[in-house]
Structure 1
Amino acid sequence: MHLEKRLPRNGKEGLLYGTIISTLTVFFMTTYSAIYFAGDFNGEVAFTILKMLPIIWIIVMIIEPAIFGRIAEALTAKFTKPEDSFNSKILFRILFTVLGMSAAMTFIGDVVGNGFHSELFSNWLLNWPRNFVIVLAAESLVIQPVARFVMVKLHESQDAKAKVSTEVNGKII
């Protein structure tokens, strides 16, 4: 799968790919949660979103590759075969990543937004299933396809540059 145009091929591309996914997911879920709990969108909600975005984004950029990405990769390898399709592997990877990240971020988001409080666990039990389903749908239908589209365009551009650089005076080297 190293030459797969829809996935990163090296560390820089992996960082770009992860940044796109994390940024879109954090923006989506932070905005959704703020509006859901506030009831409507206003200046105060917008300010809350702007305050929480960088904090949550940093947390996500640390724990996804360090913990949940590795777990998702191992579970995907366990539940798929090498000959399985790209789509089946990606769907398993999304499922396992979203499962772990939504569980962790539902808890962490509540702590970041409201501090430690007595309803922390009961809030998690109430909010996590909803967050899981919402993020799973968003990741599967919008966020991951956007990130893969960016990778395809990046690789097409790189391939075109590589082709041009191998041509000298109209001759292919």
Structure 2
Amino acid sequence: MDFYMKLPRNKKEFTLFLLVISIVSVNIIAPLITFLEVGFSKETYFNTLQVIPFIWLFVVILVLLTHTPAEKITKKIIHKDDSFNSVVTINILVNVLLMSIFMTIIGTWIGSRSVTFDVFHNYLNVWPRNFAISLAIELLIAHPVARLILYKLHISKDKQKAA
């Protein structure tokens, strides 16, 4: 029942789910990683706010591009008898892994407003931190918020059908 109540049932709900997760994630992860990279300041925060729409656009594009490969990888890892929570956790882990690999590069390019190969010099030092931050935000904030919204939406729709 959890599965049916907390996951998108159609394309419209998938769009809502994607929007909630991506907006919550980008608005927390981008400033946090930027603060750790260049320091905590009001100026840094306002500079980050200026590039968040571009980061969000690339996040949405990458989610759509990595969705199918992530599903395939998840299916290879999980067992048919695994619980809803374990399947969701593995799926989030795989999605964040794929997204963080690309967004560590793309986010740096967007944030610095230049496409250079300098990002690759520190990649192996920066990516694990970015992955850990992203995974924590996704597991503890973004996905629970999105699933709660879908759960409330489904309860509301089910009540309307019953009435």
Scaled by the length of structure 1, the TM-score of the pair is: 0.87
Which residue pairs with 1:16 in the alignment?
16
Rounded to whole Å, the distance in 1 between the matches of 2:13 and 2:135 is: 23
The Cα shift of 1:46 comes to: 2.9
8 Å CA contact 2:3–2:84 kept in 1: the answer is no
Equivalent pairs: percent with the same residue? 38
Which residue pairs with 1:137 in the alignment?
136
Q: Which of 61, 66, 86 pairs up with 1:88?
A: 86
Rounded to whole Å, the distance in 2 between the matches of 1:86 and 1:118 is: 41
8 Å CA contact 2:2–2:84 kept in 1: the answer is no
Query: Counterparts in 2 of 1:8-157, with a 5 A limit?
Result: 8-42=8-42, 44-66=43-65, 68-114=66-112, 115-157=114-156
- Structure 1's unaligned 5+ residue stretches are 165-173
Q: Which has the higher helix share?
A: 2
Larger relative CO (CA 8 A, sep 6+): 1 or 2? 2
- Structure 2's unaligned 5+ residue stretches are none
AA of the residue aligned to 2:111: G
Cα RMSD (Å) = 1.7
User: CA offsets per residue over residues 71-98 of structure 1, 9 Å max, x none?
Assistant: 1111111111222211111011011000
8 Å CA contact 2:97–2:131 kept in 1: the answer is yes
Rounded to whole Å, the distance in 1 between the matches of 2:117 and 2:4 is: 48
The Cα shift of 1:2 comes to: 10
Q: Which is greater in Rg?
A: 1
8 Å CA contact 1:102–1:131 kept in 2: the answer is yes
The Cα shift of 1:138 comes to: 1.4
- Number of equivalent positions: 162
AA of the residue aligned to 1:50: L
Structure 1 SS opposite 2:80: coil
Scaled by the length of structure 2, the TM-score of the pair is: 0.92
Write out the 4+ residue segments of structure 1 that deviate beyond 3 Å after TM superposition. none
